Structure 1
Amino acid sequence: MLHKKTFMLLLFVITFQIYGQQPATIKLTAETLHGRFREWAYPANGVTINTNAPALLWPGTNGEKKIMLQGDIGDDFTIDPKIHHVVYKVMLASDPDFKQNLISSEEQEWAMYPLHQPLKSGKWYWKYGYRQKSSQNWVWSPSYDFIVNPAAVNNPVSPTAATVLQRVSGQHPRLWNMNKIGNDFYLKNLSNPEAKKFIAYAEKLMLEPLPEEKPRRYIDTTGKSELQKKINIEAMYHGFGDMVGNPVRNLCIAYQLTKDKRFILDAKRRALNIANMNPDGLATRDDFTGGAILEAVAWFYDAGYEFLSSDEKTFLKSVIKLRGERIYRHLPNRFEININDNHIWQITLRNLAIGAVATIDEVPEANKWLTYIYEVWSARFPILSNNDGGWHEGSGYFKVNFRSFIYLSQLLGDLSGVDYFQLPWMQNLPYFLLYTHPSAASCMAMGDMWEKEPNIAKIDASFADALTYRINNPFLNTYVAAIKKDYPSYFTGTDDLLLYRLINYKSERNLPESSFNELPKSRWFKDVGIAAMHENLSDSSKNLSSYFFSCPIGSSGHGHASQNAFTINYKGKTIFGSTGYYSNFSDRHNLLDYRTSRAYSTILADSLGQKIGENGYGWTPRFITGKHIQYVLGDATKAYGPITNEFWLDRFQKINVVPNEANGYGERNITLYRRHYLQLEDGYIVIYDELEAEKPVKWTTQFQVPYYTIESKETASSKQQNFTVKTDVGLVNTSVFANTDLKMQVHDKFAEAAVNWNKVTGADGKVFEYKNQWHAGITSTPSKKMRFLTVIKIDGKAAEVIKPVALKNGNIQLNFGSWELSAQLNNDEAPMLNIKNEKLNSAFNYGASSIKLGKKTYQHQTSGSSMLVETINNKPMLQEVIDELPDVAKYDSKTK
């Protein structure tokens, strides 16, 4: 839900078109939509919310000023100790004087208050106060107001944290409700073939020697900087915690499946071994490895409680407390106001939750751990989206969250009675998976680390399969069935989601399937600014896919400066996609190429790219899906400018690099960048760009090819440039047109060399070879305004060059295949794009022109809108769209 987000100032201006009664275009002028940390209270400004129990959110303070986040857990920074010296209170009432239906909170150490009681419909008022723990002087905020939608008054409401804690306390084992369902878990899995295979695996596991505190691999650090040496050491121990901790968990599960004491006694031997590992040693001192040790020790403490002596219990509790507090100190009055502290959401929140549940009332700190975890989960999950099921960081790091998505939803659902798999985001998640990463095909090719495993990985397969246990969606079932057919080896052996399947096991499962042919060819994930388009979603070997990105969250976390960029996949292969390689979150190649707009098929202004940070945002105002034409409009106007985000400036400083114009960053005062992107039947892509700046700019439209080569082609006109991508699935021919002279550069060099100094390995475990990749840039002469028209033909049989039928005063006409196109490239004229196919009875128009299709003429209801007309089953189907704000802009702005 929207209140689970952090945002900054939003102002928008609606531009009314002279010919229409309704606004057609919206210009966002906010410096950012989703800030790195929360800057104002939500809900406010009289917004109507669709829940009867919102989470109240506000900016954190250290008692003197708003909290500015120095870094994320795992970074080298010192937490401001003052953030732990503050407490908050909340007052909520149905009148501005706070006398009617008054709700007053207890004092708390965090800047969030998820309501666990229903509010009546109508207007509500609230405010928060804070004081330093050393003072009794409360400082109160202004009063905020919101309206509860009457349609939401009967929605179920989650229980309080106190109720959840009461449900946890009791005899061991507590995790996964085993003290209640343990016998049923044992009985129902006696006949489970997967459980039998796992037990056989656990038998072999007991034969493995105890692990030692030593690197998993060695990396030569000779000649490296101190920062690089630190990162190399982390890489040498990467995965160490799971390597030594997972056997403890697995043997505990084997014991619960069999009641065979051999398993739990061997788990004890291993748990005591890793519990004795040095918490300050290289092997287990970082947040990931330390968290894994915490989780494993807590697993055994809970499952093997009756096999521990009093001294052993005391020792394990001390280990859990020490490692748990190291995570928890990063949380209150910090984590909840952060847009996304990646490591915590990915892994360590789950580690701490398991430690907390295992030791409630036995480690006093565990009660506050679980209280905070439950409250932040109630207030903020899902992060990085609203309800659309999307994720803006790309597939590479999306999968790092899968275990926590599954197990925290299961664990906290067990304790609260809330079925988190029924949240709107979870219900839409299957569509995000199947549209953005079809089986037997490459992914969206964007974001950190996508290139390591571009195809479906085992965790992708097991995650999608896990969702079928709790989400009733026949298209999800079809998706998983396809993955099982394409990747049968993924469903043998064991994996990290096994326990979840065992808990939810049924001997007979009804998994009805529905054909993807029943789905629209495209889907819009508006909250994260992604549109996914397909020609044949049912068959990757015949499919043409487009992925378009313009994200309201900006280039946050593992996301990139890729606003208004696109990826094109054909027959499962990535043709156009981002280039470069992920060695580290912020090395030279990452900050000067891989993470930047230089690596994406988007626009540069005087060779300068988009800002890195949440304030380098875009959005997708329009979307249409039809039978023969798919369309999305992206707006990246606010993505450009110098880097001002303190988090990222610190990253540059640490590697002694300045984000200046020489390195691809700077101000060019871009005032407009709207990109119309269409995928047409028969393998054509059309892109129409509208660009404006305060001063003349050399505009460059880029094309990035990560796997194939680019060859430039001759052209008869200086206003047209052509190139061909040579692939193993056919030739891909591209032509770019403008109303000004164009120059093209084709090369296979990075702006900053890619060096695998951190010895990153690929999916096969071998050190990744960083090869050069191909890039094409087509640049205009300097101008304040510019329009590009791009036509791409996929699977060409020859290196075909499209020639204009006519070009007069910037009005260009093209014919390709059975399509006819006309566009206005003259910046002094109103923008216009018209595409028609009489054979397919389909036509599209952007602007004010009417559409003539067959014997009929169709007019825009609003000038400047985008309109699609298709004749289906002898009936004309018309779709007309104007700009639509993302939900963050509708509901969580600083002012109305």
Structure 2
Amino acid sequence: MLISLLVSSQLLFAKPDTQAVKTIDVAMLHPRVREWAYPVKDVKVPANSVCLLWPSTPGKNIAYKIMMATDAGFTQNVIVGDEQRWAVYPIHQNVKEGKWYWKYAYKTDNPIDKWQWSETNSFIVERSQNSISSPSPKQVLENLQVLENLKGQQHPRLWSLNKNAETFYGNNKNNPEAKAFVAAMRKQLGKTLPEEKPTRPRDTTGMNALQKKQMIEFMYHGFGNKVANPIKDLVLAYYLTKERAFMDEAIKQGVHVAKMDPEGYATRDDFNNGNIVEGLATLYDMGFSFLKDSEKQLLKNAIAVRGQMIYKGLPNRFELQMCDNHVWQHILRNFSIAALAVANDVPEANEWLTYVYEVWNARFPVLASTDGGWHEGNGYFRVHYKTLIYLPMLFGDLSGRNYYEEEWMNNLAYYILYSYPIKSTSVSQGDMHENLKDIVRNHGLFADALSTKINNPYLTWYAHEIRKLYPDFFRANDDFLLFRLLNYKGDKVMSASKVPSDLPKSRDFRDIGLVAMHSDLVNTARNTTVFLTSNPYGVAGHAHAAQNAITINYKGKKVYGGTGFYSNFSDAHNLLDYRSSRGHCTILADSLSQRLGEDGYGWIPRFITGNRIQYALGDASNAYGNLTTDFWLDRFTQIGIKADKESGYGDAGVKKFRRHVLQLDSNYVVVYDELESVKPIKWTSQMHSPFQLTHVSAAGQKSKTFDLQADFVKSNVTVFSSSTASINIHDQYNFPAKNWKGKTDDEGNIIEFSEQWHAGITSQPTIKQRFLTVIQIQEKQLQPIKQAVLKNNMQQVQIGGWTISANLETGKEPFLQVVSSDQKSLFNYGSSEVKSGKNLVPRTISGSSVLVEKGKIQEVVDERPNVTNLDTGR
């Protein structure tokens, strides 16, 4: 028998206090290119290692400088920056607390031009204790020169081997992994020198011009690694053994590669060129004392030409981009290593090193803030792993600052734990998410490496589990081998670790718009995971139009979530299915996707973690509208498709999309959607799965049910609608998924692009719409659902010891309540008064979300993301 509501209808429909519900009314929170200065408007900076940012001035050879002071007249405590070519300026000193004023100026290289000053901006430094500062680039270069003069030795500089080479050799003398690596490198001695030819030939017959161009680039992808990695490995083998044969072989191969045409197909690609620059620079630096003068000059010339090819496209552009992925993923690391290796030896390299050092200090971490997440999802986060391990070490050695102690780095440990559990898939959002069906090798190696630098006992546990469960990850040469060797001090001894069973079951990462809920973080076989994504960065880079989308994993496998395949960054399947909202468990508005671009953003206003109940609220009210971003419009033009309603894009007039998501124990998920538009439109609630979905007949026109069955799980989904609804279940993409590039997984196997299942529950045209979705996930028998409609269109559902009540009457205020059968766990949203059993629960703000468990009361209202408080220039 269904139980009655615990609040009166009078209280139930009280209008929520406006303080509980907040909105954001700006076009975007993180523009693709910086559009305003930072920090401004007396914003309180989080620490006193201040960094100044400002928009660029168009044109070539633009110069900038800054001025800051503690008075608006710029006469007290004045700091003046040197002339520079880039639009970031970290203040490499601990400035005093209080209010500061600053401005920037620009001019061209025309001698008659004068400095043009910006308006005066201001910010407030709140604290000065225990802040972390780094030396200026000028100090870094001077220290480098002083150290070399004292030692009487210019090289090696990389990885502190100028002072630690003997320690490195001694530590690894009996290291089994080092011995295995050296044995493998002996087989490289005397090998034929590499030819400039495709690393993965493909037939281009029948391809259009764009596909052929992309395919040629694809065929040479990895060539830089192929020819540069052996050089670095041979040099490393020398430092592990002191056997001259390894260095001689490295020099032979390095000289050969240095003579390759930098404009040729094989090496002109940015990835290939970056890898070659790093390989040649490593040989120059670490093999310096073995090189002939002619060989040094050849390497310096090649590095100078190739390095300048990279550098010419960076200042006054790269530092202003939200994220130039290719550079942040690989090229910044390649280029930084090269810049340090040849600084003071190649005239241009001092400016290179100054630039990368300043950008690193100003922008790291580029796609996050402090909470540890990465906004593009883990499929492409892992492409950044190598840079995120080595550059903190490189710049740390250079500056003396421990970048592993940054707040983001410490929270990264929790992001890894919650977003990518052991023996499990991850959240299905962002390019290449479908490749993460289990812990993949480079993720395991990254977590292991990170655990040696971050003092987090839970990450230590995570790394220990990876070494135990995936021992083959550590039995071959890989991207993190050098890191492990540099940090090896005998057999790996795990520091004190803690099993994360004592951590909260859920965690929010609001900077990047992710909430991760778990029933059992430790035991994958018992874990049900629910992810809610609503991303303040919008659909930038490799992110997807997945605002207010959910992913549900069970026993480490995806049951519901994003669908499709990463065939190419912007082919038809990518733009019309995979990256589109059509490919995610979210809402279509009049059959239209959320827009692509930074203006298609969402955010997480509320979050509560409890014992039996986990809760989050996502807001995607700003995610819909016409696609207007030039970057994405150009991608549509390139493939001959218009970004119009026929393609699933356009403005349906959405005003509101707030999605409440609750996980109840390990078997039930409740989703409550509040939707509103400026005109009557159809609303479609979507669910996707790799497993077959089957429609189940149900009484009434306002609820639809479908089942899912697989060999490891049984599930059903019932969607209750505020208006008459229809259901459509199919296994076809909007545009077929074809692996036309022959993409492979991490083990080199060709990926099968299979059909998947899609369910859409569509309302009749309405201005306001609500959906209540109840999802059941069981290992064995599904539990029966009892349902009733009370007065005022109040929907009530009883299932598995839970009673769920939701207001579906759009003319009344929203309401959602979940109560356990023992009355000890209660969630309530939207009423003025809450009762737990016979006890009245105090509520401070009407319209808040309240969780009551074991006598503990948690109440939350909307909280805007940090960026709205810090980066307020708009």
Give TM-score scaled by structure 2 length.
Answer: 0.96
1:487: how far off?
1.3
Partner in structure 2 of residue 666 of structure 1: 650
Task: Output aligned runs, 1:351-366, within 5 Å.
Answer: 351-366=334-349
1:840: how far off?
6.8
Partner in structure 1 of residue 9 of structure 2: none
Query: Are residues 801 and 783 of structure 1, via their aligned partners in 2, closer, same or farther at CA, if it must alter by over 3 Å?
Result: farther
- The counterpart of 1:773, out of the listed 741, 756, 770, is 756
Report the residue type matching 1:181 in the other structure.
N
Partner in structure 2 of residue 650 of structure 1: 634
- The counterpart of 2:700, out of the listed 717, 727, 730, is 717
1:611: how far off?
0.7
The answer as to whether partners of 1:643 and 1:666 remain within 8 angstroms in 2 is yes
Report the residue type matching 2:848 in the other structure.
S
Partner in structure 2 of residue 41 of structure 1: 37
Report the residue type matching 2:517 in the other structure.
M
Structure 1, 20-29 or 636-645: larger mean CA deviation? 20-29
1:115: how far off?
0.4
Does residue 210 of the first structure (1) align with residue 189 of the second (2)?
no
Query: Are residues 417 and 308 of structure 1, via their aligned partners in 2, closer, same or farther at CA, if it must alter by over 3 Å?
Result: same
Query: Are residues 801 and 591 of structure 1, via their aligned partners in 2, closer, same or farther at CA, if it must alter by over 3 Å?
Result: farther
The 3-state SS of whatever aligns with 2:622 is: helix
Structure 1, 629-638 or 157-166: larger mean CA deviation? 157-166
The answer as to whether partners of 1:623 and 1:633 remain within 8 angstroms in 2 is yes
What is the CA–CA distance in structure 1 between the aligned matches of 2:276 and 2:242, rounded to whole Å? Answer: 24
The answer as to whether partners of 1:445 and 1:454 remain within 8 angstroms in 2 is no
- The counterpart of 1:537, out of the listed 514, 521, 535, is 521
- The counterpart of 2:831, out of the listed 838, 848, 871, is 848
What is the CA–CA distance in structure 2 between the aligned matches of 1:763 and 1:259, rounded to whole Å? Answer: 34
Partner in structure 2 of residue 57 of structure 1: 53
- The counterpart of 1:168, out of the listed 144, 164, 171, is 144
What is the CA–CA distance in structure 2 between the aligned matches of 1:595 and 1:851, rounded to whole Å? Answer: 41
What is the CA–CA distance in structure 1 between the aligned matches of 2:846 and 2:191, rounded to whole Å? Answer: 72
1:669: how far off?
1.5
Does residue 420 of the first structure (1) align with residue 403 of the second (2)?
yes
What is the CA–CA distance in structure 1 between the aligned matches of 2:667 and 2:344, rounded to whole Å? Answer: 63
Partner in structure 1 of residue 543 of structure 2: 559
Task: Output aligned runs, 1:285-364, within 5 Å.
Answer: 285-364=268-347
What is the CA–CA distance in structure 2 between the aligned matches of 1:351 and 1:362, rounded to whole Å? Answer: 18
Report the residue type matching 2:816 in the other structure.
L
The answer as to whether partners of 1:25 and 1:864 remain within 8 angstroms in 2 is yes
The answer as to whether partners of 2:14 and 2:813 remain within 8 angstroms in 1 is no
The 3-state SS of whatever aligns with 1:85 is: coil
Task: Output aligned runs, 1:546-695, within 5 Å.
Answer: 546-695=530-679
Query: Are residues 127 and 153 of structure 1, via their aligned partners in 2, closer, same or farther at CA, if it must alter by over 3 Å?
Result: farther
The 3-state SS of whatever aligns with 2:215 is: helix
1:21: how far off?
7.5
Structure 1, 35-44 or 650-659: larger mean CA deviation? 650-659
The answer as to whether partners of 1:430 and 1:476 remain within 8 angstroms in 2 is yes
The answer as to whether partners of 2:823 and 2:836 remain within 8 angstroms in 1 is no
Partner in structure 1 of residue 800 of structure 2: 817
The answer as to whether partners of 2:564 and 2:577 remain within 8 angstroms in 1 is yes
Stretches (4+) displaced over 4 A:
17-22, 798-801
The 3-state SS of whatever aligns with 1:89 is: strand
Task: Output aligned runs, 1:274-289, within 5 Å.
Answer: 274-289=257-272
- The counterpart of 2:384, out of the listed 401, 414, 436, is 401
Structure 1, 409-418 or 307-316: larger mean CA deviation? 307-316
What is the CA–CA distance in structure 1 between the aligned matches of 2:832 and 2:669, rounded to whole Å? Answer: 21
1:459: how far off?
0.6
Partner in structure 2 of residue 4 of structure 1: none
The 3-state SS of whatever aligns with 2:484 is: helix
What is the CA–CA distance in structure 1 between the aligned matches of 2:83 and 2:68, rounded to whole Å? Answer: 14
- For residues 755-814 of structure 1, give each alpha carbon's deviation from its aligned partner in whole angstroms, at most 9, with x where no partner exists: 211111123323222111110000000000000000000026456663413333210111
1:687: how far off?
0.1
Partner in structure 1 of residue 500 of structure 2: 516
The 3-state SS of whatever aligns with 2:187 is: helix
Does residue 126 of the first structure (1) align with residue 122 of the second (2)?
no
What is the CA–CA distance in structure 2 between the aligned matches of 1:673 and 1:453, rounded to whole Å? Answer: 29
Report the residue type matching 1:33 in the other structure.
L
Query: Are residues 779 and 221 of structure 1, via their aligned partners in 2, closer, same or farther at CA, if it must alter by over 3 Å?
Result: same
Report the residue type matching 1:674 in the other structure.
R
- For residues 706-752 of structure 1, give each alpha carbon's deviation from its aligned partner in whole angstroms, at most 9, with x where no partner exists: x2111111011111000011222121100000121110000001111
Task: Output aligned runs, 1:29-108, within 5 Å.
Answer: 29-62=25-58, 82=59, 84-108=60-84
The answer as to whether partners of 1:120 and 1:153 remain within 8 angstroms in 2 is no
1:488: how far off?
1.5
What is the CA–CA distance in structure 1 between the aligned matches of 2:823 and 2:410, rounded to whole Å? Answer: 34
The answer as to whether partners of 1:168 and 1:360 remain within 8 angstroms in 2 is no
The 3-state SS of whatever aligns with 1:23 is: coil
The answer as to whether partners of 2:464 and 2:494 remain within 8 angstroms in 1 is no
- The counterpart of 1:138, out of the listed 115, 118, 126, is 115
What is the CA–CA distance in structure 1 between the aligned matches of 2:423 and 2:271, rounded to whole Å? Answer: 31
The answer as to whether partners of 1:453 and 1:763 remain within 8 angstroms in 2 is no
Structure 1, 19-28 or 395-404: larger mean CA deviation? 19-28
Does residue 882 of the first structure (1) align with residue 858 of the second (2)?
no
What is the CA–CA distance in structure 2 between the aligned matches of 1:496 and 1:246, rounded to whole Å? Answer: 10
The 3-state SS of whatever aligns with 2:279 is: helix
1:355: how far off?
1.0
The Cα RMSD (Å) is 1.5
Partner in structure 1 of residue 466 of structure 2: 483
Does residue 24 of the first structure (1) align with residue 8 of the second (2)?
no
Structure 1, 225-234 or 850-859: larger mean CA deviation? 850-859
Partner in structure 2 of residue 12 of structure 1: none
What is the CA–CA distance in structure 2 between the aligned matches of 1:801 and 1:279, rounded to whole Å? Answer: 67
1:204: how far off?
2.1
- For residues 78-121 of structure 1, give each alpha carbon's deviation from its aligned partner in whole angstroms, at most 9, with x where no partner exists: xxxx2x32101101010011111111111110111110012111
What is the CA–CA distance in structure 2 between the aligned matches of 1:238 and 1:553, rounded to whole Å? Answer: 29
What is the CA–CA distance in structure 2 between the aligned matches of 1:883 and 1:801, rounded to whole Å? Answer: 35
1:154: how far off?
4.5
What is the CA–CA distance in structure 2 between the aligned matches of 1:792 and 1:859, rounded to whole Å? Answer: 30
1:636: how far off?
0.2
What is the CA–CA distance in structure 2 between the aligned matches of 1:857 and 1:613, rounded to whole Å? Answer: 46
What is the CA–CA distance in structure 2 between the aligned matches of 1:800 and 1:518, rounded to whole Å? Answer: 30
Report the residue type matching 2:610 in the other structure.
G
- For residues 684-722 of structure 1, give each alpha carbon's deviation from its aligned partner in whole angstroms, at most 9, with x where no partner exists: 0000000000000100000011x2111111011111000
The answer as to whether partners of 1:125 and 1:143 remain within 8 angstroms in 2 is yes
Query: Are residues 490 and 207 of structure 1, via their aligned partners in 2, closer, same or farther at CA, if it must alter by over 3 Å?
Result: farther
- For residues 400-449 of structure 1, give each alpha carbon's deviation from its aligned partner in whole angstroms, at most 9, with x where no partner exists: 10111111111010000010000000001111111111111111122101
Does residue 155 of the first structure (1) align with residue 155 of the second (2)?
no
The 3-state SS of whatever aligns with 1:765 is: coil
What is the CA–CA distance in structure 2 between the aligned matches of 1:853 and 1:302, rounded to whole Å? Answer: 70
The 3-state SS of whatever aligns with 2:386 is: helix
1:303: how far off?
1.1
Gaps of 5+ in 2: 1-12, 149-153
The 3-state SS of whatever aligns with 1:575 is: strand
What is the CA–CA distance in structure 1 between the aligned matches of 2:632 and 2:852, rounded to whole Å? Answer: 45
1:510: how far off?
4.6
What is the CA–CA distance in structure 2 between the aligned matches of 1:168 and 1:657, rounded to whole Å? Answer: 54
Gaps of 5+ in 1: 1-16, 63-81
1:818: how far off?
0.4
What is the CA–CA distance in structure 1 between the aligned matches of 2:289 and 2:115, rounded to whole Å? Answer: 48
What is the CA–CA distance in structure 2 between the aligned matches of 1:623 and 1:205, rounded to whole Å? Answer: 55
What is the CA–CA distance in structure 2 between the aligned matches of 1:499 and 1:867, rounded to whole Å? Answer: 50
Report the residue type matching 1:167 in the other structure.
N
What is the CA–CA distance in structure 1 between the aligned matches of 2:369 and 2:200, rounded to whole Å? Answer: 40
What is the CA–CA distance in structure 2 between the aligned matches of 1:229 and 1:167, rounded to whole Å? Answer: 50
Report the residue type matching 1:479 in the other structure.
Y
Report the residue type matching 1:611 in the other structure.
R
Structure 1, 473-482 or 152-161: larger mean CA deviation? 152-161
